[in-house]
Amino acid sequence: MNTLQVKQRFGIIGQSDALDRAIETCIRVAPTDLSVLITGESGVGKEIMPQIIHQLSARKHNNYIAVNCGAIPEGTIDSELFGHEKGSFTGAQGARKGYFEEANGGTIFLDEVAELPIQTQVRLLRVLETGEYIKVGSSKVLKTDVRIVAATNVDIPKAIEKGNFREDLYYRLNTVPVRIPALRERKLDIHLLFRKFASDFAEKYRMPSIKLDNEAIKLLISHHWPGNIRQLKNITEQISVIEANREINADVLRKYLPEGSSTKLPMLASSTKESLSEREILYKLLFELKKDMNDMKKVIFEILQNNGNLEFSKENEDLAQRVLHDVISTDDISPISPADNNIDTNSFNRIQVDPFTDMNAEVVEESLSLEDKEIELIKKALEKHKGRRKNAARELGISERTLYRKIKEYDL
């Protein structure tokens, strides 16, 4: 069976090369008993690939069981997968077969496999290596002949580094890797999928199918689609049901597309390749502020020891140059260098915090409130563009509708 026939049989829509490669890999590996690990973002359609593998294998007449590992509580996952004996735990009123026993001779699909507890991962590794397992509450070793296909949207190598996933299990599962591309990587397929979903919903709800104009198609294709095919299908259904006009333009479509992270101001960017969380960024800023305060204390302490003389020790000379450059206003005075000796104590009224006359003065710290920063950025953008909301919104990287809401929210 070739790729086109598989697409027709399983209702797969798309012309992406990456998608075709994933399907071809599944076709080739299906006749074997090799374990397969399917990776890809949430909503890309990973659940179709195990069905292809099972239906094209010699196991197709036996059971196919799909298990969502993330949906089963940690306390019962072992019982669900491997079964249990009567009385093995509270509530175990009878013996129960697990999925590995039920799927004997067939295929078991472990979706969200990265959510398995470490102890369960050990049991799963034994099944992969020897085909053996033990029911909960039993000491009898049982055998199973099961083809395992797993899927995850988690970066497992990173999970291994954090100690959340066993490296030996990863290599066992990842005998044949299959990656499903994200929807944004399949630009030519986005409109095809939209039309298919629109046709399906028109038939389901017995109404004319919706259509997009050229501008709406461009907007649809350029959208990031973090929820992938699942999100596209959901939005298509919303538009099909809600909109009376079946010709959809870009303005109408835009109302249904989430604005995403661009609505959250201010946007803090990390200089590292790995993005930092908001809390980590704030901690980083606070530590830098603390370091600057400690540097200033060192310089002021040495000035006090020298009775106002700006002659510093070799250790603190570079530090003093930087601190004095930061704290002394350069708008209305000439700069001071450490070379200036025997400066009168009154000269330090040019320093923003006078160490001689107000050592206990309260230091007013800059606000670190995200809301305050957001208001400040909005005000600056509006001032820069002389109140033109459209231009200000473009400058801030948000929609005009979001800016209008923020203006009302903060009473600007």
pLDDT digits (tens, 9 = 90+) for 66-125: 999 999 998 899 999 999 998 887 777 888 899 999 999 999 999 999 999 999 999 999
Q: Which residues have a Cβ under 8 Å from the Cβ of 37 and sit 6 or more positions away?
A: 113, 150, 151, 152, 170, 173, 174, 175, 176, 177, 178
Q: Which residues span the domain enclosing 381? A: 370-410
Q: Which is nearest to 48 in space by CA: 124, 113, 111, 4?
A: 111
Residue 322 sits in the same domain as residue 402: no
Residue 236 sits in the same domain as residue 285: no
Please report the pLDDT score of residue 37 as a whole number: 97
Where residue 244 sits, what CATH number does that domain have?
Answer: 1.10.8.60
Please report the pLDDT score of residue 29 as a whole number: 97
Where residue 374 sits, what CATH number does that domain have?
Answer: 1.10.10
- CB-side exposure of 234: number of CA atoms within 13 Å? 11
Residue 344 sits in the same domain as residue 224: no
- CB-side exposure of 322: number of CA atoms within 13 Å? 12
**Residue 362: inside a domain, yes or no?**
no
Where residue 99 sits, what CATH number does that domain have?
Answer: 3.40.50.300
Number of domains, the chain: 4
Encode pLDDT of 321-375 as tens digits: 665 555 544 444 444 444 444 444 444 444 444 444 444 444 445 555 677 777 8
Please report the pLDDT score of residue 232 as a whole number: 96
**Residue 111: inside a domain, yes or no?**
yes
Residue 167 sits in the same domain as residue 190: no
**Residue 41: inside a domain, yes or no?**
yes
Residue 77 sits in the same domain as residue 206: no
Residue 282 sits in the same domain as residue 244: no
Two tokens at 343?
Answer: 């400066």
Two tokens at 347?
Answer: 């000269």
From 316, 350, 384, give the residue that closes a domain.
350
Please report the pLDDT score of residue 398 as a whole number: 81
Asked if 356 contacts 343 with a C-beta cutoff of 8 angstroms, the reply is no
Residue 246 sits in the same domain as residue 390: no
**Residue 376: inside a domain, yes or no?**
yes
**Residue 25: inside a domain, yes or no?**
yes
What is d(CA 64, CA 103) in angstroms, rounded to the nearest whole number? 6
**Residue 269: inside a domain, yes or no?**
no
Residue 51 sits in the same domain as residue 86: yes
- Which parts of the chain sit beneath pLDDT 70? 260-284, 287, 299, 301-302, 304-369
Residue 73 sits in the same domain as residue 27: yes
From 155, 181, 207, give the residue that closes a domain.
181
Please report the pLDDT score of residue 311 as a whole number: 62
**Residue 137: inside a domain, yes or no?**
yes
Residue 189 sits in the same domain as residue 177: no
From 224, 258, 292, give the residue that closes a domain.
258
**Residue 223: inside a domain, yes or no?**
yes
Please report the pLDDT score of residue 365 as a whole number: 52
Mean pLDDT of the chain: 82
* Distance of alpha carbon 351 from the chain centroid: 46
Pairing state between β 132-134 and 141-143: antiparallel
Residue 152 sits in the same domain as residue 93: yes
Residue 26 sits in the same domain as residue 96: yes
